[in-house]
Structure 1
Amino acid sequence: MMRVRFFGDFAMHACDRPVDTLRGRTSSLFQFLLLNRGQTVRRERLHEVLWPGREWSSTDSSLKVAVHALRRALRTTADDGAELPVEIAGQDHGYALHADDLWVDVDEFETCMSEGQVAESAGDDDAASRAYHRAVDLYRGDLLGADLADWIVPQREYNRALVLYALGWLRADALRRGRHAEVITLCRRVIGIDPYHEEMYQTLMLVHGRRGELGQVRNWHRLCVSKLRDDLDVAPTATTRRIYHRAVRGELREPVLTG
Structure 2
Amino acid sequence: MTMRVRFFGDFSVHIGDEPVDQPRGKIAGLFQYLLLNRGHTVGREKLYEVLWPGREPSTTDSSLKVAVHTLRQVLKRAGPGAEIAGHTNGYVLRADDLWLDVDEFDVCLDAGRIAEDAGDFARAARCYRQAVELYRGDLLASETADWVTAQRECDRALVLYALSWLRADALRRGDHPAVITLCRRIIEIDPYHEETYQTLMLAHGRRGELGQVRNWHKLCVRRLQDDLDVAPTATTSRIYSRAVRGELRVPVAA
TM (normalized to structure 2)? 0.98
The 1:223–1:10 alpha-carbon spacing in structure 2 relative to 1, beyond 3 Å, is same
CA shift for structure 1 position 146: 1.2
Distance 1:197 1:84 in 2: 45
Aligned AA (2:152): R
Q: Tell me the secondary structure at the aligned position of residue 76 of structure 1.
A: helix
Distance 1:237 1:64 in 2: 55
Residue 101 (str. 1) matches residue 102 (str. 2) = no
Residue correspondence of structure 1 range 39-118 to structure 2 within 5 A: 39-77=40-78, 83-118=79-114
Distance 2:114 2:80 in 1: 35
CA shift for structure 1 position 137: 0.3
1:7 corresponds to which residue? Answer: 8
Tell me, yes or no, if the aligned pair for 2:206 and 2:249 is still in contact at 8 Å.
yes
Aligned AA (2:189): I
What stretches of structure 1 move > 6 A for 4+ residues in a row? none
Residue 133 (str. 1) matches residue 134 (str. 2) = no
Count of residues in correspondence between the two structures: 253
My pick for the range that moved more, 175-184 or 56-65, is 56-65
Residue 242 (str. 1) matches residue 254 (str. 2) = no
Tell me, yes or no, if the aligned pair for 2:4 and 2:13 is still in contact at 8 Å.
yes
Q: Tell me the secondary structure at the aligned position of residue 214 of structure 2.
A: helix
2:220 corresponds to which residue? Answer: 224
Residue 189 (str. 1) matches residue 185 (str. 2) = yes
Tell me, yes or no, if the aligned pair for 2:12 and 2:22 is still in contact at 8 Å.
no
Tell me, yes or no, if the aligned pair for 1:187 and 1:204 is still in contact at 8 Å.
yes
Tell me, yes or no, if the aligned pair for 1:209 and 1:252 is still in contact at 8 Å.
yes
Q: Tell me the secondary structure at the aligned position of residue 77 of structure 2.
A: coil
CA shift for structure 1 position 15: 2.0
Distance 1:218 1:58 in 2: 64
Distance 1:66 1:126 in 2: 47
1:122 corresponds to which residue? Answer: 118
TM (normalized to structure 1)? 0.96
Distance 1:88 1:106 in 2: 21
1:149 corresponds to which residue? Answer: 145
Distance 2:100 2:80 in 1: 15
After superposition, the C-alpha distances for 1:32-82 in whole angstroms (9 at most, x for unaligned) are: 0001111111101111111122222233111011000000111012xxxxx
Distance 1:187 1:15 in 2: 35
Aligned AA (2:50): V
Aligned AA (1:117): R
Q: Tell me the secondary structure at the aligned position of residue 257 of structure 1.
A: coil
CA shift for structure 1 position 230: 0.7
Aligned AA (1:75): K
Distance 2:24 2:168 in 1: 42
Q: Tell me the secondary structure at the aligned position of residue 75 of structure 1.
A: helix
The 1:21–1:172 alpha-carbon spacing in structure 2 relative to 1, beyond 3 Å, is closer
Q: Tell me the secondary structure at the aligned position of residue 53 of structure 1.
A: coil
Aligned AA (2:31): F
1:80 corresponds to which residue? Answer: none
Distance 1:240 1:58 in 2: 60
After superposition, the C-alpha distances for 1:181-212 in whole angstroms (9 at most, x for unaligned) are: 00000000000000010010000000000000
Distance 2:40 2:187 in 1: 36
1:24 corresponds to which residue? Answer: 25
Tell me, yes or no, if the aligned pair for 1:14 and 1:84 is still in contact at 8 Å.
no
Distance 2:207 2:143 in 1: 41
Aligned AA (1:130): R
Identity of matched residues, %: 70
The runs of 5 or more residues in structure 1 that have no matched partner are 78-82
Tell me, yes or no, if the aligned pair for 1:116 and 1:129 is still in contact at 8 Å.
yes
Q: Tell me the secondary structure at the aligned position of residue 89 of structure 1.
A: strand
Distance 1:251 1:163 in 2: 33
- C-alpha RMSD over aligned residues: 0.9
